[in-house]
Structure 1
Amino acid sequence: MKIQPQDATATPRLLEVADLTVKFALRKGTLPAVSGVSFNLGPGERLGLVGESGAGKSVTGFAVLNLIAKPGFIESGRVLFEGKDLTALPEERLREVRGNRISMIFQDPMMTLNPVLTVGTQMVETLKAHRDISDKEATAIALEKLRKVYIPSPEKRLRQYPHEFSGGMRQRIVIAIALLTSPALIIADEPTTALDVTIQAEIMDLLLALCRTENMGLILITHDLAVVSQVTQKIAVMYAGRIIEMGLTQEIIANPLHPYTQGLIRALPQSGSGRGARLEQIPGIMPSLYNMPPGCAFHPRCPKKCALCSEEAPALLSRESGSLVACHCV
């Protein structure tokens, strides 16, 4: 999918990802982890990147911040954020964006937080890395952000260490740190994976409320369509490094067109299915980057495949519903 030139009367774009390709140079050869990914995000918009493990979701999120470590590299494409191409910026300029205009929330808060520093020290150091302010001013901002994420007794919490918090509270601390610089965009990579269902819902509600009140853009990376259906406005379904369906969340949930998206939705627990009912599943597994099938990468698992599917990779094309779908059989 090619991104068209922006209309002067259209809503301004916060982020434009155009034909992004990320590869990894390994002993067995150079492998594509993300191939030709394109999407747009406006101020305050929320996008869900959905797919199984190995689909390329997290690599896409890291590539937006130009955080692909060797042996990975961005081979081609553009990532325009507030008009600047992040793939072309030197490291010093990138530091002005990372953790400042764009913040990232990772899967495991205990891997994000430093266990030997208090929460207050970590928050103050984060702020001072991006702002020329005093410790007192930084502490005041830290307290404000802790209140925003509903941390009780924030003055006391600033003096505590990460191990003194529950999993849900630690994730709220991580979100508060992400909010410190009032970013325009947050990338949340499976932010509720290690949490129980009740806490997951609380964290998602919190992110949604913050996006609305702070007018922040959100890229939510997850395998859970049920989560994105409650939080995001748009969905991009990824498979084997490519976007295979993209459109408005309500449209895709109600009327999925790609057989893979249909399979993901059927795999969700259905209300009214009865106690003990078996969950449906998509047969097979995500293909290895070392052994990608010819044509459409999903065709070995697809119940609707035709002869063309094993010969030619489908283009991501617009359909009557308004969604973009890469499938020969739709």
Structure 2
Amino acid sequence: MTLLSVRDLTVKFKTRESSVTALDGISFDIARGERVGVVGESGAGKSITGFALMNLLSRPGYIDGGQILFEGQDVTKMTPKQVRAMRGNRMAMIFQDPMVTLNPVLTIGQQMIETLRAHRKLSKEEARQIALVKLKEVYIPSPEARLDQYPHELSGGMRQRIVIAIALLLDPQLIIADEPTTALDVTIQADIMDLLLEMCRSNMVGLMLITHDLGVVSQVTERTMVMYAGRIIESGRTRSIINDPQHPYTQGLINALPQQTPPGSRLKQIPGTMPTLSAMPQGCPFHPRCALATDECRAVMPPLTQYGEVQVACHEVQRLHRELAKMEAAQ
């Protein structure tokens, strides 16, 4: 059953001259309990997607068109009161830096109790008991003591666990995790991702994991969307995309993984950089960095087309599939 349905979502940012497009008509669905990864370089539009879903875009950014249907309600048409009732309650977000979420002048307990009482009719003691249960669920040692501590008294890994506990406080249907392990060391990263996966599985919570790490995506998610310059350029089951990437950009991301390079060799990288919003090339936005680019790529934006279990936006992939179809028809 579909939990979230996004259709032709367009996000723009006003500039002094006119406006620039950060998300260009993206569409996707997330089912209840499904884990979806959103992958791409910095500037691809991953975080903007998460902020738009939560209706957290601030000026000069704004939603210019499209629908965000969450449990049948269009988020873009909600009143401020409806948005407050949804945000943190039915849909929650985990940010890159836990200190963005945690207030440094309030104790952990004050913040968790305040969150609960903002959405539920609970006494302070009832809210405190629920907070304790959630801290235990995310394996916080000595949870009673932690409730009375301030964020600066805790380690980075413990702060991120507390942020996950806060996200789960009100039993949301969907969690948007925006690079939840970026600021942590490798061993803590693995623990946090295992914890997030366990929480989502045990509570049947949908997860939208925003990351640049394809290794994490392959271990945690069931489906993956690859974004480039504000568009979804490849989408499908994670196994299909990792094992047989179709788009040249996705292939480049996978080839750039350290484990794809023999020891002692230089790491592979995609040449060039992501185009800026104010200087978006005509046609396929990836063509200036693509070794397979043709005149058609430089002139025409490729549509997102279904091929088996995967959707791909690439003229070269379309050409290859047309040739395969002709060969099969000739046999």
Work out the CA distance in 2 between the residues paired with 1:131 and 1:324: 42
How far off its partner does 1:28 sit? 3.1
How far off its partner does 1:70 sit? 1.0
How far off its partner does 1:306 sit? 1.3
**Residue identity in the other structure for 1:323:** V
Show the counterpart of 1:264.
253
Show the counterpart of 2:289.
301
The question of 1:289 aligning with 2:239 is answered no
- Tell me the TM-score normalized by structure 1: 0.95
**Residue identity in the other structure for 1:234:** R
Q: Which secondary structure does the structure 2 equivalent of 1:14 belong to?
A: strand
Q: Which moved more, 1:110-119 or 1:213-222?
A: 110-119
Runs of 4+ deviating beyond 3 Å:
none
**Residue identity in the other structure for 1:314:** P
Show the counterpart of 1:36.
25
Show the counterpart of 2:145.
156
**Residue identity in the other structure for 2:20:** L
Q: Which moved more, 1:250-259 or 1:23-32?
A: 23-32
Show the counterpart of 1:237.
226
Higher helix proportion: 2
Show the counterpart of 2:204.
215
The question of 1:14 aligning with 2:15 is answered no
Deviations along 1:176-198, one digit per CA (max 9) or x if unpaired, are 00010000000000100000111
How far off its partner does 1:13 sit? 0.5
The question of 1:329 aligning with 2:312 is answered no
The question of 1:89 aligning with 2:64 is answered no
**Residue identity in the other structure for 1:216:** V
How far off its partner does 1:72 sit? 0.9
The question of 1:319 aligning with 2:307 is answered yes
**Residue identity in the other structure for 2:282:** P
Correspondence for 1:145 among 120, 123, 134:
134
Show the counterpart of 2:264.
276
How far off its partner does 1:111 sit? 2.1
Work out the CA distance in 1 between the residues paired with 2:310 and 2:92: 28
Work out the CA distance in 2 between the residues paired with 1:79 and 1:175: 24
Q: Which runs of 5+ in 1 are unaligned?
A: 1-11
Deviations along 1:289-313, one digit per CA (max 9) or x if unpaired, are 1111000000000011111000100
Work out the CA distance in 1 between the residues paired with 2:210 and 2:294: 31
Q: Which secondary structure does the structure 1 equivalent of 2:109 belong to?
A: helix
The question of 1:56 aligning with 2:18 is answered no
How far off its partner does 1:275 sit? 2.7
How far off its partner does 1:65 sit? 1.2
Show the counterpart of 1:3.
none
- Tell me the TM-score normalized by structure 2: 0.95
Work out the CA distance in 1 between the residues paired with 2:2 and 2:278: 36
